[in-house]
Amino acid sequence: MAREGTRAILTRAHLTRAHLTRAHLTRAHWTAFHGRPRP
């Protein structure tokens, strides 16, 4: 039970980190492409 909870927490943390990284890369690409930060 505790192991499942830990795995769920780690998975959620990994997905959150991946989402934040993707958002950061998208923002950087938008800035480079449009010459201004994404609104």
Residue 29 belongs to some domain of the structure = yes
Residue 15 belongs to some domain of the structure = yes
Residue 39 belongs to some domain of the structure = no
Dihedral (Cα; 6, 12, 14, 20), 10-degree rounding: -150
The pTM of this model reads 0.53
Residue 38 belongs to some domain of the structure = no
Q: State pLDDT tens for residues 3-37.
A: 889 999 999 999 999 988 998 888 888 888 888 77
Please report the pLDDT score of residue 31 as a whole number. Answer: 85
26 Cβ neighbours under 8 A, 6+ residues apart: 38
Domain span at residue 25 reads 1-33
The count of domains in the chain is 1
Please report the pLDDT score of residue 38 as a whole number. Answer: 66
